[in-house]
Structure 1
Amino acid sequence: MEQVRWAHGVARDRLATTAPGRWRHAQAVGVRAVQIADLYKPDHGLLVAAAVLHCIGYAPDLVDTGFPPVDGARHLRDLGAHPRLCGLVAHHGGAAVEAGLRGLADELAEFPDEPGPTRDALWYCELTVGPNGERRTFDQWIADIEARDPVGSVPRRFLELGRDQLRGAVDRTRERLSHVGLERWDPTVPESA
């Protein structure tokens, strides 16, 4: 679990004082990942580390391209992080769609994408935890963007283009969790279930 301790320290150092809301979210996404990580052996540590680090690119002193997935992944690469970790951070939350809209596809392509269960699980963790660490559903996440961002904005265009890909990752992960009795971690299932 050295990778997880390292990730937690890096995220804390970059986000706790400069972006405390992001830090709360990162911690909660990390907790969500811990709750389901046993299903993702041998990627247990990788999943939790990526969950804690996924929004590190929001740290003000790391802004380079202005696109947090790329800025965060570049920082991690500079620190010597494993390429898989950098790739998961770079591609979290369907970043390829938004990178294309922002004209940053080449910058994102510096990092390998890794479709599959571990990436799906990271997206699931991120998309089922609210900005202050609260549990939420994917549909609540969608509603937050629709309420916050105007029609035609990059986030709304991203949502139009990437919704099915994101929902697929969430649904595939929920299905995996249900097969091993971890559906109690699913925010769409009441706590008493």
Structure 2
Amino acid sequence: MGGDVDIEWARSIARAELEHALPRRWSHSQGVERAAEKLTACLSAADALLLRASAILHDVGYAPRLARTGFHPLDGARFLRDEHGVDEQLTRLVANHSCALLEAEERGLRGELEAEFPLPHDRLLVDALIYADMTTTPDGSQTTQSARITEIIGRYGPDTLVGRFIQRAEPEIMAATRRIERALQNQPR
């Protein structure tokens, strides 16, 4: 795929990996892309495409055939890099979506994640992907970040690996949401 981001290609890859194997995850991914599309006004055209592609692909690592480590951000980014030669910025966004470093730490994979896919430098893109993911329900509907965090804790349990991670990530998720809301408010009408 190289340096150009092709949203139709990204959508077809996510669909192929998720639609039948994990239909609810596919619905969520489509909802995250819709949420990301609403944020493109505060981005350049190239970054808007990058955000939308990372949004639709962010959970591709959940696909059963791709799960190697059981940590979907790392499995998805490796798949995109190794099987498709995807743009480095895109793989780094997928690998680091929604405070993934904190979950990687819980799993003992932080060193691997940081070595292979360093956190992207563009804070606005990182925040926008957090916002899009954390304001979308598992079924693809819009929600608030608070309700989404509560849903994740309820689904996994507060004392599970994912429950502990999301509770640790909550302050950063809330801060990213505030930064995106400010960026949107500062856009010309």
Using the size of structure 2 for normalisation, the TM-score is 0.91
User: Residue type matched to 1:113 in 2?
Assistant: L
User: Residue type matched to 1:87 in 2?
Assistant: R
User: Residue type matched to 1:24 in 2?
Assistant: S
Q: What does residue 138 of structure 1 align with?
A: 145
Q: What does residue 186 of structure 1 align with?
A: none
**1:24-43 CA-partner distances (Å, limit 9, x unpaired):** 11111111111221321130
Bigger mean CA deviation after superposition, 58-67 or 100-109 = 100-109
Determine the C-alpha separation between the residues in 1 that align with 2:188 and 2:153.
Answer: 33
From 31, 34, 37, give the equivalent of 1:34.
37
Determine the C-alpha separation between the residues in 2 that align with 1:2 and 1:90.
Answer: 16
- Does the 8 Å CA contact 1:128/1:136 hold for their aligned counterparts? yes
Structure 2 gaps of 5+ residues are none
Counterparts of 1:1-193 in structure 2, within 5 Å, are 3-41=6-44, 42-78=46-82, 79-109=84-114, 110-115=116-121, 116-180=123-187
Determine the C-alpha separation between the residues in 1 that align with 2:158 and 2:54.
Answer: 31
Percent identity of paired positions between Structure 1 and Structure 2: 37
Q: What does residue 188 of structure 1 align with?
A: none
RMSD of equivalent CA atoms: 1.5
Determine the C-alpha separation between the residues in 1 that align with 2:88 and 2:13.
Answer: 16
Q: Give runs of ≥4 in structure 1 deviating > 6 Å.
A: none
User: Residue type matched to 2:132 in 1?
Assistant: C
Bigger mean CA deviation after superposition, 167-176 or 150-159 = 150-159
| CA 67–168 in structure 1, closer or farther in 2 if over 3 Å, else same | same
Task: Report the alpha carbon displacement of residue 155 of structure 1 after superposing the two structures with TM.
Answer: 1.6
Determine the C-alpha separation between the residues in 2 that align with 1:86 and 1:80.
Answer: 9
Determine the C-alpha separation between the residues in 2 that align with 1:169 and 1:138.
Answer: 10
**1:7-62 CA-partner distances (Å, limit 9, x unpaired):** 00110111111111111111111111112213211301100000000000010000
**1:106-161 CA-partner distances (Å, limit 9, x unpaired):** 22121021150011001100000101111100110121123223332112211232
SS for the counterpart of 1:134 is coil
SS for the counterpart of 1:43 is helix
